Amino acid sequence: MVGLTSSINKVVLAELLDEELSKLDLEEVSNIAKEVRQGLAFCLSRMLPCSELVRLLLDLATSISQTRLTKVVSGKIPKEASGEAFIDIEFLRGLVREVLMYYLVIVLGLVDHELRIPVKFEEEVSIAGRKYRPFASKLLPASEVMSLQHAGAKIKIILPRDIYKCLDVALNIKK
């Protein structure tokens, strides 16, 4: 069990030592998964509680995610960042866009008193058992809109045209 977290240590150290987002590829993720499975198998085979290991892994996952997300928000991304060497880069950029958009609609005063924003459905979408047809409009909670857009639902926030132009520029997260 000594080598259990060697791959995790490598990823964490690289993230802490480098000012820019560090490389995180599929091979590193596969090595981490293999080591974690071995550690859990060790605990379970000896009827030991795995709670300490799981707590440690949760703390590490929290630290890695916070650090990587902070670097993306700050624009500290290497110029050569690609999907193969940085498997989470598009996911992180999507989260940053989602968070930025959430606060933009609030700051621009585009929400009502219940933090809902007007949207238009560009395709049929089902939400909580209710179907919305293309071109239908509805007020939805801002957080729900961001999540639906992140998940790929074709819904558009109804905004004045000038604001759309500004948002296109603001939401183009540095690549």
| C-alpha pair distances (Å), 43 with each of 8, 31, 38, 58, 65 | 18, 19, 9, 17, 26
* CA-closest candidate to residue 127, choices 99, 136, 102: 136
In a shared domain, residues 105 and 36? no
- The pLDDT of 96-124, averaged and rounded, is 90
Asked if residues 111 and 105 have their Cβ atoms less than 8 Å apart, the reply is: yes
Same domain, 58 and 117: no
Q: For residue 15, what are the domain limits?
A: 6-73
135 and 68 fall within a common domain: no
**Section 108-130 average pLDDT:** 90
| Residue 158 located in a structural domain | yes
**pLDDT score recorded for residue 46:** 78
CATH classification at residue 97: 3.40.5
DSSP β-bridge partners for residue 118? 139
Same domain (yes/no): 55, 102: no
124 vs 166, higher pLDDT: 124
Same domain, 101 and 62: no
More confident residue, 167 or 40: 40
Q: Verify that 96 and 64 share a domain, yes or no.
A: no
Answer yes or no: do 116 and 63 share one domain.
no
- Into how many domains does the chain fold? 2
What whole-number percentage of the chain has pLDDT above 90? 27
pLDDT at 42 over 80: yes
Residue 126 included in any domain: yes
pLDDT digits (tens, 9 = 90+) for 75-86: 898 887 777 889
Q: Which of 44, 62, 57, 45 is nearest to 5 (CA)?
A: 57
166 and 96 both lie in a single domain: yes
Residue 119 falls inside a structural domain: yes
Which pLDDT does position 169 carry in this prediction? Answer: 61
Whether residues 145 and 116 fall in one domain: yes
Give the count of beta carbons closer than 10 Å to the beta carbon of residue 8: 19
Kindly state whether residues 103 and 162 are assigned to the same domain. yes
In a domain, 11, yes or no: yes
Residue 5's pLDDT band (cuts 50, 70, 90): low
Confidence at residue 67, expressed as pLDDT on a 0 to 100 scale: 92
Give yes or no: residues 166 and 100 share one domain: yes
Q: What is the mean pLDDT of residues 151-175?
A: 72
Residue 86 lies in a domain: no
Strand runs labelled E in 18-142: 116-121, 125-127, 130-132, 137-141
pLDDT in tens, 84-100: 889 999 889 888 888 88
Are 69 and 15 members of one domain? yes
Per-position DSSP letters for 4-52, written without gaps between them: TTHHHHHHHHHHHH-SSPPPB-HHHHHHHHHHHHHHHHHHHHTT---HH
Helix (H, G, I), strand (E, B) or coil at 141: strand
Q: What mean pLDDT do residues 6-11 have?
A: 84
Which H or E run includes 66? Answer: helix 51-73
Chain mean pLDDT for the chain: 84
- What does pTM read for this prediction? 0.75
